Amino acid sequence: MAVNGSASSGLIVSFGEMLIDFVPTVSGVSLAEAPGFLKAPGGAPANVAIAVTRLGGKSAFVGKLGDDEFGHMLAGILKQNGVQADGINFDTGARTALAFVTLRADGEREFMFYRNPSADMLLKPEELNLDLIRSAKVFHYGSISLIVEPCRSAHLKAMEVAKEAGALLSYDPNLRLPLWPSAEEAKKQIKSIWDKADVIKVSDVELEFLTGNPKIDDESAMSLWHPNLKLLLVTLGEKGCNYYTKTIDTTGAGDSFVGALLTKIVDDQAIIQDEARLKEVLRFACACGAITTTKKGAIPALPTEADALTLIKGGA
C-alpha cells in the first residue's frame, strides 16, 4: 500500500482522556523556573484522534470533559479537526483535567497534574455511546482510564463492546507514573488488559518498566508478546522504532506515530502480515512522529499527510 494512498474510510474510535497541557514559554527549565506557560490541548487518546483526521482518516473520541470553558474549548477543537464528538460527555461536578509539562535541561520530562478528581475520571459505563463504539474498525485506548472507578469500568465495557463488534484493539499504555498510587499498581493494571489487544505500542522507557529489564532488546520486547497479539511496537525516540510480528526488524514517536499507523491499517489490516508494506507504513509513521517534535504542544504540531510525505522525500 502506498503511503500516499486514498484516505481511509474505516472509523478509528479513541477512548480516554483529553486535557489542557500548560507548556513553559521557554525551553529547558523546570516547572518552578518557568516564567510563564502556553495552554495547549492534549491527552494521548485525543491526540491520536486528531492525528488520524489530519492524515485524512476518520476518527471519533469517547471520553468525559468538565462542563466548563476548558471542556467546551476542547470539544470544539475536536470538532474543528473533523473528529466525531458524539462520544463526549460533560460533567457538571468536576473540572476538565490540567497538566503542567516541561522538558528540563537534563532531558527529563516533568509533569504536574490537576485531577482531584477531573471529569475524565468520572465517566460511567452507562454513559458510553455504544452505537459509536460498535461502529469502530479500530478501537484505541491507553491506561490512564484504568486508574480509578468509575472510569475503569467504562474502559473495560467499551473494550468488550468494541471487540464483540469485530474492532481491532489498539493499546498504548502511555505511562504517567505520577497519576498512579504506586509503580506496582501501575504495572498491575497496565498488564491486566494486555492480552486483549491486537496492536500494542510501548516506548523504550515503558518496555523497561513493564519487564524490569534495562536492556532494550528483542528478547525483552518479546517477553511481552501474547498469543492473540498481531503487532508489537517499541518506539525508540530519535532512533525510530522496533516492530515485532512473527519476525523481527527495525525501522515513532508517540501519539502522532500511533495515529499515522492506525490510519494506514484501518482498511487493510493485512499490512501487519506483509513486511514490505509494513516497513513503508512505519517509515511514514516515524516521519509523522518526527514532525510533531518540532513545535510546542501536541495537537498544534500534528502533521498532515503532505507534511509527512515532504519529509520522507527530503530524507530519501
What is residue 285's predicted lDDT score, i.e. its pLDDT? 81
Question: Residue 273's pLDDT band (boundaries 50, 70, 90)?
Answer: confident
Report whether pLDDT(21) > 50: yes
Question: Residue 297's pLDDT band (boundaries 50, 70, 90)?
Answer: low
What is residue 296's predicted lDDT score, i.e. its pLDDT? 64
Q: Which of 81, 25, 75 is nearest to 49 (CA)?
A: 81
Report whether pLDDT(289) > 90: no
Percent of the chain at pLDDT > 90 equals: 62
Q: List the catalytic residue out of 21, 91, 172, 255.
A: 255
DSSP string, 218-241: HHHHHTT--TT--EEEEE-GGG-E
Q: Higher pLDDT residue, 297 or 223?
A: 223
pLDDT digits (tens, 9 = 90+) for 161-220: 999 999 999 999 999 999 999 999 999 999 999 999 999 999 999 999 999 999 999 899
What is residue 301's predicted lDDT score, i.e. its pLDDT? 66
Domain ranges in the chain? 11-197, 253-314
- The kind and range of the H/E element at 308 are helix 305-315
What is residue 298's predicted lDDT score, i.e. its pLDDT? 65
172 is catalytic: no
What is residue 293's predicted lDDT score, i.e. its pLDDT? 61
DSSP letter at 59 equals E
The position carrying cell 511481552 is 224
What is residue 15's predicted lDDT score, i.e. its pLDDT? 98
Average pLDDT over residues 235-256: 64
Q: Could you tell me the sign of the dihedral formed by the alpha carbons of 144, 182, 195, 212, in that order? A: positive
Question: Residue 18's pLDDT band (boundaries 50, 70, 90)?
Answer: very high
Please say whether the beta carbons of 264 and 281 come within 8 A. yes
What is residue 280's predicted lDDT score, i.e. its pLDDT? 79
Question: Residue 295's pLDDT band (boundaries 50, 70, 90)?
Answer: low
The position carrying cell 513545535 is 295
What is residue 3's predicted lDDT score, i.e. its pLDDT? 42
Q: Higher pLDDT residue, 66 or 303?
A: 66
Average pLDDT of the chain, as a whole number? 87
**Which of 5-9, 43-47, 296-300 is the most confident on average?**
43-47
What is residue 6's predicted lDDT score, i.e. its pLDDT? 42
What is residue 294's predicted lDDT score, i.e. its pLDDT? 59
- The kind and range of the H/E element at 97 are none
Q: Higher pLDDT residue, 166 or 316?
A: 166
What is residue 4's predicted lDDT score, i.e. its pLDDT? 43
3-state percent breakdown (helix, strand, coil) of the chain, nearest 5: 40, 25, 35
DSSP letter at 150 equals T
Domain 11-197: homologous superfamily in CATH: Ribokinase (3.40.1190.20)
pLDDT digits (tens, 9 = 90+) for 96-154: 999 998 888 887 778 899 998 999 999 999 999 999 999 999 999 999 999 999 999 99
Least confident of 30-34, 148-152, 293-297: 293-297
Q: Which of 142, 168, 134, 165 is nearest to 15 (CA)?
A: 142
Least confident of 57-61, 101-105, 182-186, 282-286: 282-286
